Structure 1
Amino acid sequence: MSEKQLAEEIIPPNESQVIEDLTAQLKAKIIQDNPTGIMRRDAHPKMHGLVKAEFIVEADLPEELKIGLFKEPKTYQAWIRFSNASGTINPDHDNDIRGMAIKLMGVPGEKLLDAEKHAQTHDLLLISASRFVTKDVEEFDALVKALTGSVLAKIVFFLSHWRVVFNLLRSMHKFANPLQIRYFSATPYLLGSRAVKYSAIPHVAAPDSIPSKPAADYLRLAMVRQLQSGDAVFDFAVQLQTDPEAMPIEDPGVEWLETLSPFRKVATIRIFQQAFDTEAQNTFGEHLSFTPWHALPEHRPLGGVNRARRVVYNAISAFRHERNNVPRTEPNSWDI
């Protein structure tokens, strides 16, 4: 067997069938979860807030990082959606993974998705965990089957998938404020011909604490308070893959250790002081679609989980918008 190469993808022969099965499962799940009212996302349905931001690319980056979005110093307008990952809408004090979905606007160049090739947006999807819960799409498909199945199905799955249990326990936490969490892509992406993972690292002068008697939506309230008084700032950084074995492409359940390759800042995210918690902005955020495949080819998503996202996210988004009778469009400004 030949040695793995950097940024090399290895596609299992049954992957397309597994992705098809996963898509059908998730579509059935959201139909069951949303019998009335709007059709919500299969994951991250609870939004803490949609905010306006700037994504400011660093000047004087080294040549190996000056690719695609980071080719030259530039400031992009962005929408950022913060959310809980759970497929059901639960109180914020429940342990969960949190999401940070960034949509950059005014990004020139043809994008990867044929239907939105000429869209001027580029999405960056991050979560509060540095690793994905499963090793591949097949294991994730089995996890969804177990979670939507009987008690016995859950027991059998978790007893035979100890690393999934470990990753879930390690990833699901309580947090005080979505603007003060470090986020990770967990899955890899191209940076030209190299592979990288992303991270958004918050600047936190005085960290919030979880309220002693937290309201069901206290994470939204924490964001409202912070953005009433000032900006929220993150460093956006990339981590180059340097070892194809220790930093695998096809198993996002393995964390890429920073001792092997540190994260390097390429941009600043500035979420400026604002009032975001309005009915119009919340509705707008509900109908936005995010996918890692809203991207330039220089930043193509890598690995099986990302290949599944291309199919699943498109299918769920199209179905959701059709059921909600809302057109699916990409924004080009902060106007709503």
Structure 2
Amino acid sequence: MAEKPLAQEIIPPAETQVIENLSARLKAKIVNDYPAGIMRRDAHPKMHGLVKAEFTVNADLADELRVGLFKEPKTYQAWVRFSNASGSIRPDRDRDIRGMAIKLMGVPGDKVLEAERHEQTHDLLLISANQFVARDVAEFDALAAALSGSFFAKLRFFLCHWRVAWILLRTMRRHANPLQITYFSTTPYLFGALAVKYAAIPQLVAVAERPAKPSADFLREAMVKQLQAGDALFDFAVQVQTDAEAMPIEDPGIEWPESVSPFRKVATLRIFRQGFDTEAQNAFGEQLSFTPWHALPEHRPLGGINRARKVVYDTISAFRHQANNVPRTEPSGWDI
């Protein structure tokens, strides 16, 4: 029997309709959640901080990794947004998945999204979990429906979807500092002819501890304190798909085993020593949009969850920018 091809997508026949249903459901959610004031994101609405950074590609990459963004050693200016994943704004002491969204600037070349083909940005989205909560768009849509329903709707869903419950139990955790978490893409991306997953791994000098009596916003406070003292560094790494069975494209709920293919560092993310907790920078962080489809074709997102993101992120971003009466634009540098 022939081996399954690598970097291969398999699109279910009904997926387009499910994505439309999910997009409408999440749009209705934010209309209900934010009837007045700022219209926020459907997920990751609570921002711990938006910070300036540099993303420097390694000079000694293997030939197979010299692709797209990583074709040559280069440093890109970046904005990095740290957040809670929960769809509502809750105290940082609650268990949650945390997010890191990186927006690189000054990236030449046509991008995947036709409407933003000539933009000079490239986004990299990661979370503090190495598995996505759902196996596909249909399961994620069912989860979204259950979470917006009654207690019994939630109970029925989790009794019938034990793996979703187990992944949430494993990945919703308490953390001490967003600058000291390892983040993963969970979903795969093209890397030229290869498929990869991404990770951002902190270079730790001293490990923070959670306060005995944490405030509702202690994760922001921890970031402020660390960046007053010095830089924060992350190794940005890729994990190459080498086995289509053990490392599937269409089910991001399956962790790709590092024993089969370890992560390989390709760049350094340096977050400068800085003060970032200002009204202007916080407002700018609310206005920014991130999507994995802000990307070069060499790094096109793969798999059903990413295909859903293409529609959902664009719909939600356009809707909330219109509701907030702010233009939807891509930054070209650190000026705000």
Q: What TM-score range do you get, normalising by the shorter chain?
A: over 0.9
Partner of 2:98: 98
Name the amino acid aligned to 1:199: A
Q: Hey, what's the Cα distance between the residues in 1 that align with 2:94 and 2:5?
A: 41
Pairs within 5 Å for 1:310-321? 310-321=310-321
C-alpha distance in 1, partners of 2:33/2:194? 40
Aligned pairs, number: 336
**One-letter identity of the residue aligned with 1:172:** M
Which residue in 2 is equivalent to 1:279? Answer: 279
- Deviation of 1:62 after TM superposition, in Å, equals 0.6
CA drift at 1:36: 1.4
Task: Note the alpha carbon deviations across 1:281-308, whole angstroms, 9 max, x for none.
Answer: 0000000000000000000000000000
Per-residue Cα deviation, 1:128-166 (whole angstroms, up to 9, x for no partner): 000100000000000000000111111110000000001
Superimposed CA distance per residue, residues 196-241 of structure 1 (whole angstroms, 9 cap, x where no aligned partner): 0000000111100000000000000000000001000000000000
Tell me which amino acid in the other structure corresponds to 2:266: V
Task: Give the secondary structure class of the aligned counterpart of 2:270.
Answer: strand
Q: Which residue of 1 aligns with 2:267?
A: 267
Q: Equivalent residue of 1:159, what SS?
A: helix
| 1:155-234 paired onto structure 2 within 5 Å | 155-234=155-234
Residues of 2 paired with 1:179 and 1:195: CA distance? 27
Establish whether residue 53 from structure 1 lines up as the match of residue 50 from structure 2: no
- Asked if residue 63 in structure 1 is aligned to residue 63 in structure 2, the reply is yes
Counterparts of 1:4 and 1:92, CA distance in 2? 43
Could you say what secondary structure the match of 2:21 adopts?
Answer: helix
**TM-score under structure 1 normalisation?**
0.99
Runs of 4+ in structure 1 over 6 Å off: none
Corresponding residue number in structure 2 for 1:243: 243
Q: Which residue of 1 aligns with 2:24?
A: 24
Between the aligned partners of 1:2 and 1:116, the Cα distance in structure 2 is 39
1:319 partner SS: helix
RMSD: 0.8
Q: Distance in 1 between matches of 2:2 and 2:12?
A: 16
Partner of 1:127: 127
Secondary structure of 1:257's partner? coil
The CA distance in 2 between the partners of 1:154 and 1:195, in whole Å, is 35
Task: For 2:110, give the aligned amino acid.
Answer: E
- Tell me the CA shift for residue 252 of structure 1: 0.1
Q: Matched residues in 2 for 1:47 and 1:28: separation?
A: 22
Separation in 2, partners of 1:91, 1:104: 29
What is the SS of the residue equivalent to 1:331?
A: coil
| 1:334 paired residue number | 334
Distance apart, 1:5 and its partner CA:
1.2
Deviations 1:164-204 (A, max 9, x none): 00110111000000000000000000000110000000011
Distance in 1 (alpha carbons) for counterparts of 2:93 and 2:36? 25
C-alpha separation in 2, matches of 1:304 and 1:212: 41
Report the Cα offset of residue 2 of structure 1: 6.8
Structure 2 distance, partners of 1:202, 1:3, is 36
- Cα distance in 1 between the residues matched to 2:116 and 2:142: 31
State the alpha-carbon separation in 1 of the partners of residues 223 and 115 from structure 2. 34
Percent of matched pairs sharing the same residue: 74
Q: Where does the alignment leave 5 or more consecutive residues of structure 2 unmatched? A: none
1:16–1:2 distance in 2 versus 1, CA, 3 Å:
farther
Once the 2 structures are TM-superposed, how far is the Cα of residue 3 of structure 1 from its aligned partner? 4.8
Task: Give the letter aligned to residue 143 of structure 2.
Answer: L
Counterpart of 2:294 in structure 1: which amino acid? H
Whole-angstrom CA distance in 2 between matches of 1:220 and 1:4 = 45
Q: Give the Cα separation in 2 of the matches to 1:110 and 1:34.
A: 35
Q: 1:144 corresponds to which residue?
A: 144
Structure 1 residue 39 and structure 2 residue 43: aligned?
A: no
Aligned AA (2:62): P
2:112 matched residue in structure 1: 112
Distance (whole Å) between structure 1 residues aligned to residue 22 and residue 3 of structure 2: 31
Cα distance, 1:54 vs structure 2 = 0.1
Return the alpha-carbon distance in structure 1 between the equivalents of residues 93 and 119 of structure 2: 37
Measured after TM superposition, the shift of residue 60 of structure 1 is: 1.7
CA apart distance, 1:4: 2.5
Q: Decide whether aligned partners of structure 1 residues 18 and 60 sit closer, same or farther in structure 2, where only a CA change above 3 A counts.
A: same
